[in-house]
Structure 1
Amino acid sequence: MPKPFSAIPFTGIPFPKTEYDRRQKKVLAAVASANLDALVVTAHGHLRYLTGYDGMGGYFAPFPLILVPGRAPTYVVREYEVDTVRATSCIDEIISYTQQQDFSKVCADVLRRYGLHGRRVGLELGCWNLAAADVSALQAQLPDLKIADATRLVASVAAVKSELELEAMRNAMAMTDLAVRTFQQSLREGVTETKVAETIEEEVKKAGGQLAQFYSLGFGERTRLAHGVPAHHPIRNNEPAMVEIGGAKHGYAAGVVRSAVLGRHPETEVLHDLAVEALEAAIGAIKPGETASAVDAAARKVIARSGRSQVFRHRTGYQTGIHWSERGNLSLEPGAADILEAGMTLHMPLILFSENGYLFGTSEQVLVTERGAEILSTTPHTLYQA
């Protein structure tokens, strides 16, 4: 007789079942407010938020979590992954399909069984892990299904963190700060990006932590590369260095950007000063009830006043939590009408472009509180000079 899943080492859900029940209840309330009859969740970050399972088996075809008011959640997953989903999620009702082409039929069968074939159902049309072909195949199975875009629905609920989530974010940030200190202390002439990356990973592992799956690190001319991965490239005297890195806990990532100069590099040093000023203005604008666009505008005002508006070519920040980011999350950008609430966590990377193409800057991971913004990192966002 097979052993119960509880006997498998390192399985289970990271938070109490009551925490997932709370999340699902809030999402279902948002479903009702959006005048939807059901929600089909497919984004990996949202699946992990609502179930505990990381969703990674859905690289082959979607793993829809079907939420219907008055019913227990139903997970539709590949048969190959059923035991993993059962062992690492809080979902009891799991229905499987075998091949990629079976996804739409099995998902449609569940929706039909729940009387949703002619109803209004939300799909995460703007998130990762749901392709246009998946939507078309589902619509072909259920021609009367009224599909609505629910890209922002789970994200809007997940934006406000519980105390358990904030604890995970703080634990993640402790590893981020360790990574940043290791980055700074490792800078010496001739050391390569890969060697510094290896040292960071060793120190974080030694401390019992882990890093988010992706991070960027570059020296000298390679700081021109957005999201550049470490290479066997050494730093020389009078060159800049920049890292964007985050620790992770239960899938919650808390990333920051930190920059340094080995010796002196006037071009990037001046750029960094501007990034710090813009970042601090944006942080100062954060408070409950403020719009996301107003925070973004505070940073842009500083940069415009410098006469160098062309150096800032992206948004001021974005919602954080499970995974580094997810499409459809709250974004601090021009025109964004989202209202900040206490309990939200935001990453605010003020990375600027120099005249010669260097990308350089700084960031903070902040918690929105009733009093304003609480900075979660303990490493200063000022320039580190080695």
Structure 2
Amino acid sequence: MSTIPLDYETLRLIWWLLLGVLLIGFAIMGGRDLGVGALLPFAARTDDERRVLLNVVGPTWEGNQVWLVLGGGAIFAAFPPLYAVSFSGFYLAMIVILLALILRPVGFKFRGKIADARWRAAWDWALFIGGAVPSLIFGVAVGNVILGAPFHFDDTMRAFYTGNFFLLLMPFALLCGLVSLGMLVTQGASVIVGRTEGLLAERARTIGIWAGLGTIVLFALGGVWVAFGIDGHVITSTVDPNAPINPLAKTVELVRGGWLSNYGAYPWMIAAPVIGLAGMALAVLGLNGRWKLVPLLATSAGIFGIISTAGLSLFPFLLPSSTVPQAGLTLWDASSSHMTLFIMLLVTAFFLPIIILYTGYVFRVMRGPVTTTSLNKNPNAY
């Protein structure tokens, strides 16, 4: 271990931060595509308008999926117990997400194959499902993490999940799902306003304003609910950040409003919910003022703040247990080995900048307004 320049505690913190970066990256980049898909049947009224929306996100949506793949890979490699519990316990919800996401590539490719109104309308609704359903369920998943998942370990450290799909649909989790859907719809509307014109942009602007306002109200309501209606998990034993993994080596108490304790210990964390609320408010103002770039940047900041609020509130927990609080997984007791985290960090330090540079290049090439006229000049358009 002495040959590794970073200690175990530091590497665990770095990978906790990197996991947050990857998840936020997907929410911002993939949220563009999910939001536009969710708006497809409502913002666009004609076939030409819907083709415009498809070509707003069509050239880049596949690349944006890289963030989702990286996030799943980071959970698998950096926090194996978290991967084992969450991917096995929430597998039905993940299958629903996967099936919805599969509709997107199929919809993009098949929609224009037949010039029939019913055929294209069916694929438009498939693309709507592919955008709205994952947006909702991702938020429901975060809500269930805050509530705690029903799992425990036996004496041999085998994980047992005792919940079911319908147990995930608790009122607070559904509220979080609506926050997620609202912020990604606002993101999609901001993209449409920034890259289209005329009635299409105006309809998206109106929907985006209401979605942004709804996100602000629901996010604030969620904060009140966490403060006064949910028991947070608080570690009461001494934690060794450099110890080997053992989720059962700690003691945990349930405290009403305990998820807010980090804000007392680390006052700077209050910046996260402030950025979340301010970002969405600025997005609403930008949409109302018919600005082009500001709403997209503001919504991205709002998404960053909202997701960061959840992550910072839970710290150091990754997945609390609602049935056996002691079994809750934290970054201190659910990570890979010291050497594994270090090697992964070297690989990430090499490839992540390449992904960011490539993504920036692609968006630079694909910049500019998308109109019916531009589509007619492009034989490769959807």
Query: What band does the TM-score fall into relative to the shorter chain?
Result: under 0.3
Give 1 or 2: higher strand fraction: 1
Give 1 or 2: higher helix fraction: 2
- TM-score, length of structure 1 as denominator length: 0.24
